[in-house]
Amino acid sequence: MMHIRECIVSAPGKAILHGEHAVVHGKVALAVSLNLRTYLKLKATNTGKVCINLPNIDTFLCWDVSEVKHLMPCSRGKQMDLKHLDPELVKRLREFVGGANGNFDTSNMATLAFLYMYLSLFGSGELPSLTVSVWSELPTGAGLGSSAAYSVCLAAALLCASGAIPAPLKEWEHTARWCQEDLELINSWAFQGEMIIHGNPSGVDNAVGTWGGMLRFLAGRIIPLSRVPLLRILLTNTKVPRSTKVLVARVKDKINKFPTILTTVLDSVDAISCTCERVLLEMTCEPITGEHYNVLEELIDINQHHLNVMGVGHPALDTLCRVTLAKGLHSKLTGAGGGGCGITLLRPETDSSVVQTTIQELKDCDFDCWETSIGGPGVQVHSPLSVKEDILGILNRY
């Protein structure tokens, strides 16, 4: 039986400050990693089976390696083009997992992304027997990039298991990261997972999951913003379920229907991202003033209107904006919208009593709400000691 490397990896979720949807159409986005992560454990087995345990989405599946092996198109060697999916492999996998009739459910998408990467990475040789277990602190399908964190973890663990990238953890270390070249490979493979889950992803989410921190993303170009002011952000999950794939397709339809109208909206979002970036930079090189915050707040308001124009708003997100504005705070949706999460900018002087009453009022609307810290590290490999006990317990359960 083929020998593979075992590992535990994690990747962060993200919040998009500005540029969601527009980024799919070649505009600038500003995004930042969160302190909420997805963890994945890959275990080598000798059962002749390939198994996946996804307790967040109640999915536990096992196949005989031989059963999966014949899904690999015979003509296929090692995959070189990581910008497109192999349509033949996707078709076969859809038939196999039951997503052939446009059945884009949570479980099918996650399974498809896993099997696609597993077969693409190992399918040209002997398929290893292994078990992958994933647990996330992120809400699934809520705009915080859970799909990308999942795809980044899958890519890192499977690439590491296959020997395509090294195991960077030294014996005495608790966490380690890969070198730039390996991160680029992880990011490219994670993009494949995102293509399965999003349909037409921009790549911003997997870039944040891979590199962490705050970054500017434009047409596949990733520029880390090393100098950013400390921002206080409130995250609210309206808990209205939605699918990024459906929302991205909805925006595309609207652009096709009203090209000249939507083009100007997308250009305006681009200008918002660029203005926000300039203001954030100014805030790191000159004393921060109330005017900086006034501009950041106005940008949030304008962008939220644009996202409504694109058709990705939701009454629950309107409620979030209204409740926070009554406290003098400004909010916008983050991620694909249509429900899911929103961000609220807190000012440095915002009193903690105001924050607490706002959180309480949002909870009274049946939303989840918490102050978050941003800028967590990108994809990492862990020793078991560096994983919180409760999370390790879940990963070891299977």
Ligand X SMILES: C[C@@](O)(CCOP(=O)(O)O)CC(=O)O
Ligand Y SMILES: Nc1ncnc2c1ncn2[C@@H]1O[C@H](COP(=O)(O)OP(=O)(O)O)[C@@H](O)[C@H]1O
For the annotated catalytic residues, the residue numbers are 147, 205
Of 21 and 43, CB closest to ligand X: 21
> Least distance in Å: CB of 147 to ligand X?
5
Burial of 31 (0-12, 13-18, 19+ CB in 10 A): buried
**Among 9, 57, 234, 296, interactor with ligand Y by CB under 6 A:** 57
> Least distance in Å: CB of 245 to Mg ion?
9
| Contacts (CB under 6 A) with ligand X, residues 204-223 | 204-205
Identify what 243 binds: ligand Y, Mg ion, ligand X, none; CB under 5 to 8 Å per kind: ligand Y
Stretch that binds ligand Y, among 141-149, 222-230, 358-366, 372-380 (CB under 6 A): 141-149
> Least distance in Å: CB of 170 to ligand X?
33
Tokens of 5: 């490397």
**Among 33, 129, 131, 146, interactor with ligand Y by CB under 6 A:** 146
Nearest to 261 by CA among 326, 309, 303, 203: 309
| Contacts (CB under 6 A) with ligand Y, residues 335-364 | 335
Identify what 201 binds: ligand Y, Mg ion, ligand X, none; CB under 5 to 8 Å per kind: ligand X
DSSP string covering 46-114, please? Answer: SSSEEEEEEGGGTEEEEEEHHHHHTTS-TT--S----SS--HHHHHHHHHHHT-TTS---HHHHHHHHH
Of 38 and 304, CB closest to ligand Y: 38
Of 244 and 344, CB closest to ligand Y: 244
**Among 79, 202, 236, 304, interactor with ligand X by CB under 6 A:** 202
Identify what 248 binds: Mg ion, ligand X, ligand Y, none; CB under 5 to 8 Å per kind: ligand X
| Contacts (CB under 6 A) with ligand X, residues 72-131 | none
Stretch that binds Mg ion, among 2-10, 52-60, 144-152, 259-267 (CB under 5 A): 144-152
Stretch that binds Mg ion, among 111-119, 143-151, 207-215, 378-386 (CB under 5 A): 143-151
Mark out the alpha helices in the chain (DSSP H runs): 65-69, 87-97, 106-122, 146-162, 180-198, 204-211, 244-257, 259-285, 290-309, 315-325, 352-364, 389-396
244 is a contact residue toward ligand Y (CB under 6 A): yes
> Least distance in Å: CB of 319 to ligand Y?
20
Give the per-residue contact string, 74-113, with ligand Y (x = CB under 6 A; - = no): --------------------------------x--xx---
Of 111 and 147, CB closest to Mg ion: 147
- Residues with Cβ within 8 Å of 157's Cβ and at least 6 positions away in sequence, in order, are 7, 9, 40, 42, 132
Stretch that binds ligand X, among 130-138, 144-152, 232-240, 368-376 (CB under 6 A): 144-152
For residue 388, give the 3-state DSSP assignment.
Answer: coil
**Distance between the two ends of the chain, CA-based, in angstroms?**
21
> For the chain, what is the largest distance between any 2 Cα atoms, rounded to a whole number of angstroms?
64
Distance CA 157, CA 138 (A): 19
Q: Would you say 94 and 112 are in contact if contact means Cβ atoms under 8 Å apart?
A: yes
Give residue 159's region: left, alpha or beta (phi > 0; psi -120 to 50): alpha
Distance CA 345, CA 334 (A): 12
Identify what 136 binds: Mg ion, ligand Y, ligand X, none; CB under 5 to 8 Å per kind: ligand Y
Distance CA 320, CA 48 (A): 50
**Among 147, 237, 303, 372, interactor with Mg ion by CB under 5 A:** 147
Of 293 and 367, CB closest to ligand Y: 367
- Residues with Cβ within 8 Å of 383's Cβ and at least 6 positions away in sequence, in order, are 8, 169, 173, 174, 175
| Contacts (CB under 5 A) with Mg ion, residues 222-261 | 244
Sheet order of strands, 368-372 included:
330-333, 341-346, 232-237, 368-372
The separation between CA 346 and the C-alpha centre of its own chain, rounded to angstroms, equals 23
Q: Which parts of this chain interact with ligand X (CB under 6 A)?
A: 20-21, 23-24, 143-145, 147, 198, 201-202, 204-205, 244, 248, 335-336
